[in-house]
Amino acid sequence: MIYPKIPLAQTVIQLCKAKQIQHIIISPGSRSAPLTIGFTNDDFFKCYSIVDERCAAFFAMGIAQQIKAPTALVCTSGSALLNYYPAVAEAYYSDIPLVVLSADRPKHLVGIGDGQTINQKNVYENHILYSANLKLDLKDEKKVPSNDELPIMKNLESKLERFLGLQKDIQEHNEQEINTAINFAKLKNGPVHINIPFDEPLYETVKTLSVSPKNNAIVKQPQEVDDYILKECIEDWSAASKKMILVGVHSPNKIQKQWLEELAKDDSVIVFTETTSNLHHKSFLPSIDQIIAPLSEEEQKALQPDILLTFGGLIVSKKIKAILRKFKPKQHWHIDEKQANDTFFCLTKHIETSPELFFKSLLTKVAHYKKSDYKPKWLKVKQKRLKKHEQYLSKIPFSDFTVFNTVLKHIPNNTVLQVGNSSAIRYTQLFSINKTLEVFCNRGTSGIDGSTSTAIGCAVANKKQTVFITGDLSFFYDSNALWNNYIPTNFRIIVVNNEGGGIFRILPGHKNTENFDTYFETRHQLNAAHLCKMFNFEYHTATDDTSLKQELNTFFSDSNTPKLLEIFTPKALNDEILLDYFKFIK
């Protein structure tokens, strides 16, 4: 096997292998050559070459999201690692493990005007679980002394001893830092940064390893609920007649069905689920905004819970946040092994365990269900809203609203659905979702950057078909995502093109002015046809309900290339149809 000659590169690669980091996403560069040589010459690793570092990082995140394990990114020095930053921030807030391996110049070449050099130490300081700054290997300048040099042999031996001692200290430091960083990524589910200085020559190889780094193994123990806290929770839960559970971003199949059934039996409990929660039950309340947007102040007050229990990632619905901040629950418990956000400014308990373990501990010890009209009342509201929802759909013209209704009904069972941010996820939240779908969205930072790249990474890592629904601005923003040689042929993109940032038209502002059109909505006349031709996607279009249904009938079928369906909607109607929806369902 071929190895890089540099011991530090060997150390990084061997520890990644020991810790089962198999997916390595590499962007081209010279300073990172020792890492690239090592990873690509070892069959254990699955290596991907992606030129655009921003796309590469979101692609890596999409893989990590699906395999629930770290992926590694390799880049050269300079601005390359800054292009990783949007994905690093998203991974930080979405609890997705990434290991950033950035090559760097030696310390003495930083800050002197050398090319392709920036201050890389702790560059992700505010959005990283751990930053490891490794030390440069000492150059081995040993040589066999000649007869003339024998008198100074003792001096050479002294220098050699000092060299070997220093190098041992450097090796131990580097091994410890690499172990700590990767273990943080695995234990705490988030991004870590390992900055790796290399001196030239960079491309030399050897056939045997010169170092054998120690792998500090980790054992993750499930966090049990503290007995005192559990006792308090049981007492308060049993006494409260109005309990609301609100679930944000949550991976599929993480809570056993029996606990969902127990919650559904209790009339004092309502469960609001976002599309990204991947939780389903006929007694739960999905499509949150559909239910609460039309509420009067008096009705909002009636919704106010005694106990608000939250788990999962960030919440999409601005409306539920506004109501719970105005009519604060008496208690807010958040369940998470890692952290708790005080989203509603009334957090009272951070229960440091998994939702599965908490519900198992709580629901098996609650003696009775509290009598209440809380859930029956809101289930009646749900049924009324659904009836009005269907009536509204039957009377409106072709628009963004009808497109999402039609598309979501046509997605095949057991598909992985990736949704873009902004209007795409907010429209999706208004509709019932097929419970066999697994739904994901980059809600950590909620940016439109990188959604396509994440979806492609997801498609590579998941054997199921992946469908990605996105808006036009998000799609064109991340169009380099298609510059990728690993896209599965069953991958599908649906672009809803309303010629700009249509979501800004529903926000307060002076729309239909040149200033608004240019700087907020950012109107355009682009389409995806040429991108599809360049990147070998099968291109389809729809401009009305009839053509959309015709395209969807065959769009998800097998093909020799990935497919993209671009749906053109009337931008002048979309905002009014959405705003009128909330008035109508009231």
Same-domain check for residues 417 and 368: no
Min mean pLDDT across 111-120, 130-139, 298-307, 470-479 is at: 111-120
* Mean pLDDT across 483-488: 97
Angle between helices 374-395 and 571-584 (to 10 degrees): 140
17 by Cβ neighbours in 10 Å (0-12 / 13-18 / 19+) ranks as middle
Are 529 and 539 in contact by the 8 Å Cβ rule? The answer is yes
Q: Can you give the pLDDT at residue 221?
A: 79
Reference 315, options 428, 433, 444; nearest CA is: 444
- Domain boundary, last residue among 379, 413, 445: 379
Q: What confidence category does residue 159 fall into, taking pLDDT thresholds of 50, 70 and 90? A: low
Same-domain check for residues 258 and 133: no
Quick one: CA torsion of 420, 423, 426, 428, rounded to 10 degrees?
A: -60
The residue with tokens 């819970």 is: 305
Same-domain check for residues 75 and 160: yes
3-state helix, strand, coil in the chain (%, to 5): 45, 15, 40
**Over the stretch 66-109, which tens digit does the pLDDT of each residue have?**
999 999 999 999 999 999 999 999 999 999 999 999 999 998 88
**Over the stretch 100-142, which tens digit does the pLDDT of each residue have?**
999 999 988 888 888 888 999 999 999 999 999 999 998 754 4
Min mean pLDDT across 142-146, 216-220, 374-378, 579-583 is at: 142-146
In whole angstroms, give the CA distance from residue 209 to residue 8: 11
- Domain boundary, last residue among 347, 379, 411: 379
CATH number of the domain residue 356 falls in:
3.40.50.1220
Q: Can you give the pLDDT at residue 140?
A: 58
In a domain? residue 431: yes
* Mean pLDDT across 533-545: 98
Give 291's Cβ-side CA count (13 Å radius).
24
DSSP string of 495-527? Answer: EEE-SS-GGGGGSSS--SSHHHHHHTS------
Same-domain check for residues 244 and 165: no
Q: Six-digit token pair at 560?
A: 């020799």
Q: Can you give the pLDDT at residue 317?
A: 95
* Mean pLDDT across 259-269: 95
Q: Is the pLDDT of residue 206 over 60?
A: yes
**Over the stretch 268-282, which tens digit does the pLDDT of each residue have?**
999 999 999 999 999
Q: What confidence category does residue 154 fall into, taking pLDDT thresholds of 50, 70 and 90? A: very low
Q: Where is pLDDT greater, at 503 or 52?
A: 52
Containing 75, the helix (H) or strand (E) segment is strand 71-75
Q: Can you give the pLDDT at residue 269?
A: 97
Mean pLDDT value across the chain = 92
In whole angstroms, give the CA distance from residue 575 to residue 502: 7
* Mean pLDDT across 373-380: 97
* Mean pLDDT across 12-40: 97
Q: Where is pLDDT greater, at 369 or 543?
A: 543
Same-domain check for residues 238 and 189: no
Reference 422, options 462, 477, 382, 385; nearest CA is: 477
Q: Is the pLDDT of residue 326 over 50?
A: yes
Q: Can you give the pLDDT at residue 143?
A: 43
Same-domain check for residues 91 and 188: yes
In a domain? residue 221: no
Are 57 and 86 in contact by the 8 Å Cβ rule? The answer is yes
Are 89 and 57 in contact by the 8 Å Cβ rule? The answer is no
In a domain? residue 52: yes
Q: Is the pLDDT of residue 144 over 60?
A: no
Same-domain check for residues 409 and 371: no
DSSP 275: G
In a domain? residue 290: yes
* Mean pLDDT across 454-479: 96
CATH number of the domain residue 474 falls in:
3.40.50.970
Q: Residue 269 forms beta bridges with which residues?
A: 243
* Mean pLDDT across 189-213: 96
Q: Can you give the pLDDT at residue 108?
A: 86
Angle formed at CA 322 by CA 320 and CA 328, multiple of 5 degrees: 90
Q: Can you give the pLDDT at residue 153?
A: 46
Q: Can you give the pLDDT at residue 142?
A: 44
* Mean pLDDT across 307-331: 96
Q: Is the pLDDT of residue 145 over 50?
A: no
* Mean pLDDT across 270-296: 96
Give 262's Cβ-side CA count (13 Å radius).
16
Q: Can you give the pLDDT at residue 442?
A: 96
Number of independent structural domains in the chain? 3
Helices (H) and strands (E) counted in the chain, each on its own, are: 20, 19
In a domain? residue 212: no
Same-domain check for residues 36 and 97: yes
CB neighbourhood size of 150 (10 A): 10
Min mean pLDDT across 205-219, 284-298, 335-349, 513-527 is at: 513-527
485 contact partners, CB below 8 Å, separation of at least 6: 49
Q: Can you give the pLDDT at residue 167?
A: 84
In a domain? residue 512: yes
Q: What confidence category does residue 464 fall into, taking pLDDT thresholds of 50, 70 and 90? A: very high
**Over the stretch 213-240, which tens digit does the pLDDT of each residue have?**
999 988 877 788 889 999 999 999 999 9
Are 59 and 98 in contact by the 8 Å Cβ rule? The answer is no
In a domain? residue 29: yes
Containing 315, the helix (H) or strand (E) segment is none
Min mean pLDDT across 111-115, 474-478, 519-523 is at: 519-523
Q: Residue 539 forms beta bridges with which residues?
A: 564
Q: Is the pLDDT of residue 189 over 70?
A: yes
Residue 271, domain extent: 230-379
Residue 455: helix, strand or coil by DSSP? helix
In whole angstroms, give the CA distance from residue 190 to residue 181: 10
* Mean pLDDT across 507-518: 70
Same-domain check for residues 560 and 442: yes
The residue with tokens 């963004």 is: 400
Q: Can you give the pLDDT at residue 438?
A: 97
Q: Can you give the pLDDT at residue 156?
A: 52
Q: Is the pLDDT of residue 56 over 50?
A: yes
In a domain? residue 222: no
Q: What confidence category does residue 314 fall into, taking pLDDT thresholds of 50, 70 and 90? A: very high
* Mean pLDDT across 506-526: 73
CA distances from 141 to 25, 234, 237, 292, 503 (A): 34, 68, 70, 73, 64
* Mean pLDDT across 445-465: 95
Same-domain check for residues 93 and 16: yes
Same-domain check for residues 160 and 248: no
CA distances from 28 to 36, 102, 275, 341, 452 (A): 9, 12, 37, 38, 21
CB neighbourhood size of 525 (10 A): 7
Q: Six-digit token pair at 341?
A: 């956000």
- Domain boundary, last residue among 350, 379, 408: 379
Give 9's Cβ-side CA count (13 Å radius).
28
DSSP string of 317-363? Answer: -HHHHHHHHHS--SEEEEE-SS----TTS---EEE-S-HHHHHHHHH
Same-domain check for residues 45 and 194: yes
CB neighbourhood size of 387 (10 A): 11
> Whole-model pTM?
0.93
Q: Is the pLDDT of residue 164 over 70?
A: no
Q: Can you give the pLDDT at residue 533?
A: 98
Min mean pLDDT across 29-43, 131-145, 402-416 is at: 131-145
Are 90 and 444 in contact by the 8 Å Cβ rule? The answer is yes
* Residue ranges of E strands in 96-232: 98-104, 130-133, 191-197, 205-206
- Label the pairing between strands 3-4 and 205-206: antiparallel
Angle between helices 7-18 and 153-188 (to 10 degrees): 30
